[in-house]
Amino acid sequence: MFDIEKGLQEINTGRDMPGEALRQETRRMMRHAAEGRTKAAKKSFVWSYRAATGILLAILLLFAVFPRTGYCAAYYTIDINPSISVEVDRDDRVIAVHPENEDAAELLMSLNIVGMQFKEAFKAIVQAAVANNYLEQNGHVLVAHFGNTGGISEQEIQRIVREEANDTVSVLMLNGNKADFEKAKHEGAQAGIDLLKNNGKAKGLSSQDVDQLIRLFEENTKKSGQEKNNGNGDNADENKKSNNGKKTEPEESHGNTGTPQNQNTNEPDGTEENDSNGNNGENTDNGKKS
């Protein structure tokens, strides 16, 4: 009987060997392949280098053409009155400014703050507000930041206001998120005031204080609109400024429209004359409480 295992182990099928010609031919082909591979590798390296350089240049170009400033990372609203909303990029650099009322439109005509850091832009706005008598003693500044991270600090805001205006101006800084801002804009509301309504208590303000502040800002905004509608000639413009000033000094706000005394309302000691106008006592209180 034939043993398969034994048969397999004993099978000697003969060792086939390549002929010398085949050996040499194969060796020649191998050398040729090796040279081709080396050249291809070198070429590949050169092209890889070129491709990497090209990609790098393209990225740099993209950053140059579409700088990071193009993306709105957060919003600010500044209510003095004037009311201004500002879009900033992730570096807190201003990329767009929107006046929220007529006073703001007028104020911004003389300002070019796009491209500035928000801190600098805010300083410029406060300077302009002071110069145009929008912000006087016992005035109010409401700054709201709508973004997930970063943003100017309340201390910084206070420092700027203190330096550019005076110590009697009260400053309130609120923080919200972008959705809050966009929702308020969608509803046609003022985002900063909206945030004050919702978050004022969290800042330690009593309900009464919040209500008074809101009333103050809203009234000022209404006045600004009315004066715009009623405004005629240079005196109207002057009056508008005076009345805006009254938003921060409410007792000065009524009855002076178009009168020469308005020029004096800018003076700190013009308060008495304005008190004689009578009907703004409530606003005065509001301002002081704030």
Partner 1 sequence: MQNERQLLNSFLSGEYSEETEMLFRQYEDNLYNLCCKLTPNKADADDLYQQTWLRVIQKVSMFSQLSLKNWLYTVCINIYRDNFRKSKRRQNIMANGIGQELYEHTIASATDNVSAENKAIDQMMKKLLVSKINEMPDKHRLPLILYYFEGLDYKESANVLKIPIGTVKSRLNTAKRMLREEMEKGNHV
Site residues (vs partner 1, CB under 8 A): 1-2, 4-5, 7-11, 13, 15-18, 22-23, 25-27, 29-31, 33-35, 37-38
Is the Cβ of residue 12 or residue 232 nearer to partner 1 in the bound state?
12
Cα separation values, 201 from 20, 204, 222, Å: 97, 5, 25
CA 50 from chain centre, in angstroms, equals 39
Q: Which two tokens stand for residue 65?
A: 């053409």
Task: Write out the two tokens for 38.
Answer: 């080396």
As measured in angstroms, the least distance from the Cβ of 29 to partner 1 is 6
For the chain, the straight-line distance linking the first and the last C-alpha, in angstroms and rounded, comes to: 115
Task: Please identify, using beta-carbon distances, which residue of 19 and 188 lies nearer to partner 1.
Answer: 19
Nearer to partner 1, 9 or 149 (CB): 9
Closest distance to partner 1 from the beta carbon of 10 (Å): 7
Residue written as token pair 């700054």: 143
Which amino acid is located at 82 in the chain? Answer: P
Contact predicate 135/80, CB 8 Å: yes
Q: Which is nearer to partner 1, 24 or 230 (CB)?
A: 24
Choose between 17 and 202: whose C-beta lies nearer to partner 1: 17
Helix (H) or strand (E) holding 120: helix 118-131
Q: Residue 8: what residue type? A: L
242 dihedral zone (left: phi>0; alpha: psi -120 to 50; beta): alpha
**Shortest reach from residue 48's CB to partner 1, in Å:** 16
Q: How far is the CB of 45 from partner 1 (least distance, A)?
A: 14
Q: To the nearest whole angstrom, how small is the minimum distance from the Cβ of residue 32 to partner 1?
A: 9
